[in-house]
Amino acid sequence: MSEQWIYLNGEFVEKKDAKVSVYDHGFLYGDGVFEGIRVYEGNVFRLQEHLDRLYNSAKSIMLSIPHTKEEMKKLVVKTLQKNHLSNAYIRLVISRGVGNLGLDPASCSTPQVIIIAEELALFPKELYESGLEIVTVATRRNRPDVLSPKVKSLNYLNNILVKIEASLAGVSEALMLNDQGYVAEGSADNVFIVKGKELLTPPGYVGALEGITRNAIIEFARDLGYAVKEEPFTRHDVYVADEVFLTGTAAEVIAVVKVDGRVIGEGKPGKETKCLLETFRNRVVLEGEKVYKDTLK
Ligand code: PMP
C-alpha cells in the first residue's frame, strides 16, 4: 500500500510522522472543531456547507482559523490529490493549538490545521443490505444551552458514551434522546422515520446536529414528492414507524430494522429507504462542489 499523506500545519507528512504535541489544547481539553466530508468520484460533496459549519463552529468557540474558506477548499483538494483519492472520507480538524496546562486558550498561540483523507466505510457493506439493529441509550444529548450541538467541537465524549452503551448492548449504533425525552439523533448521525410517503426528522432545537446529509436527504426527498416535516417525536413514534433510517457523512444512508427489540416494518430495509438510498448514491456523484474536478483541469 502506498503511503498516506496527512496535511499538518502547512506541509504534508506521512501518517506515521503526523504527530501533535501533548500540550495541544485539542488533546488536553477537546478544545477545537472538526468536520467530516466525503468526496464521490472526484466531487467533494457540499464542501461549502461543511466549511460554513466548520467556520461557524470555530466562531462560536472564538477560534480563529488561519485560512480563508477558499484556501481551505484548496487544501482539501490538495490532500485528495496528494493521496490519489477520488472516493474518500475527509477529516478536517482545527485544534486550539499548543499552550500551557491551564484552561485559558490565551496560552495557545496558533491553531493547528489537520486534514486526513482515506477510504472509509462506517458499517460493513452487508449492513446496508440488511439494515441495522439499534437501541436507545441512557446518555442524553448535550443540552443546547450547555454546549450547543450545533458546535461540532472536538468534545465528543457524549457521543462516545453512546457508542460504548451501544456496544455493551451488542449493537453498532444507538439513538440518543434529549433532556425532555424526545429523540435527538444517533452517535454521529441523524435519524428519520417514515410514515407512508411522509418523512419526519427532529428539528435542530431538539438537539440534533443539522447534518449536511440530513439536509440533502430532505431536499432529495422533497424533489421525489415526499412530504418532509422537521418535528419532535418520541421513541413510541420510532417503534411504530413504517421505516427508520440514519444519515451522516460517514454512515451515508442506512436502514434501521430493529429498535429496542421492536421490529420496524417488515424487519428489512423498506421501499422508501431503498429509494432514498439509491437517489442519494446517484445524486452525490452527480452533484457536489466540483472543486476537485475543476482544480484538476
Ligand atoms: N450528528 C452528529 C452528532 C454528528 O457528529 C454527525 C456527523 N457530522 C451527524 C449528526 C451527521 O451530520 P453530517 O450529515 O453533516 O455528517
Domain ranges of the chain: 5-118, 125-284
Has domain 125-284 been given CATH number 3.20.10.10?
Answer: yes
> Which residue in 171, 210, 189, 194 sits closest to 274, CA to CA?
194
CATH number of 5-118: 3.40.640.10, 3.30.470.10, 3.90.1260.10, 3.50.50.60? 3.30.470.10
Pocket mutation for ligand 1, best pick of 190, 191, 214 (most atoms within 8 Å of C-beta): 190
The β-bridge partners of 94 are 33, 113
Region 80-94: what's the mean pLDDT? Answer: 96
Kindly give, in sequence order, each residue whose CB lies less than 8 Å from that of residue 196, ignoring residues fewer than 6 positions away.
Answer: 242
Share of the chain above pLDDT 70, in %: 96
Q: What is the pTM of this model?
A: 0.95
Per-residue pLDDT of 153-206, as tens digits, reads 999 999 999 999 999 999 999 999 999 999 999 999 999 999 999 999 999 999
The one-letter amino acid code at 97 reads G
Closest C-alpha to ligand 1, atom 4: 188
CB-facing half-sphere around the CA of 203: CA atoms within 13 A: 5
Measure the CA–CA gap between 225 and 205, rounded to whole angstroms.
Answer: 26
- Express each pLDDT in 46-74 by its tens digit: 999 999 999 999 999 999 999 999 999 99
Ligand 1, atom 7, residue with closest C-alpha = 188
Q: What is the DSSP letter of 179?
A: T
Using CA atoms, how far apart are residues 173 and 171, in angstroms rounded to an integer? Answer: 6
pLDDT reading at 78 higher than 70? yes
The arithmetic mean of pLDDT across residues 241-246, rounded, is 98
Confidence band, pLDDT 50/70/90 cuts, at residue 288: low
Tell how far the Cα of 297 is from the centroid of ligand 1, in angstroms: 31
